[in-house]
A = this chain, B = another copy of it.
Amino acid sequence: MSRIEVTKLKEVSSQILVASGVPTEDAQIITDTILDAHKKGRHSHGIGRLSIYIRKINSGQMNAETIVKTVSQTPIISILDANNGFGQVAAYKGMSNCIKVASEHGIGVATVKNSNSFGSAGYFGEMATKQNMIGVVMGNASPALAPQGGSKAILGTNPICFSFPGTDEHPSIVLDMACSVAARGKIRLAAKNGEKIPLDWAKDADGNPTDDPTLAILGSLNPIGDYKGFGLALVVDIMAGLLSGAAFGGDVKALNTPSGFSNYGHFLAALNPDFFLSRKEYNKRLDYLINNIKYSGETGAIFMPGERSHIQEMQSTDYVDLPSKIIRDINDIALEFQLSEKL
Residues of A within 8 A of B (CB): 74-77, 79, 105-107, 109, 111, 146-152, 154-155, 162, 164, 173, 175, 177, 181, 224-225, 227-229, 231-232, 234-235, 237-238, 242-245, 248-250, 271, 273, 275-277, 282, 285-286, 288-289, 292-293, 296-298, 301-305
Contacts and interface: CB of A to CB of B under 8 A. Distances in A.
A303 B276 CA distance: 38
A254 B150 CA distance: 38
A149 B303 contact: yes
Stoichiometry, as copies per complex, reads 2
Given A79-B276, A229-B224, A285-B248, A154 B234 contact: no
Contacts of A109: 106-107, 271
Given A273-B243, A289-B248, A292-B154, A234 B107 contact: no
A298 B332 CA distance: 48
Contacts of A276: 77, 79, 111, 243-245
Given A77-B106, A149-B302, 10 more contacts: A76-B106, A77-B275, A109-B271, A146-B296, A147-B296, A150-B297, A173-B238, A175-B232, A243-B277, A243-B282
Contact of A292 (B175, B245, B249): B249
| A151, A248, A296: most-surrounded residue (chain B CB, <10 A) | A296
A275 B73 CA distance: 9
B224 A175 contact: no
A234 B276 CA distance: 18
Contact of A293 (B79, B154, B277): B154
A79 B76 CA distance: 19
A174 B77 CA distance: 24
A256 to B, nearest CB: 22
B242 A173 contact: no
B235 A229 contact: no
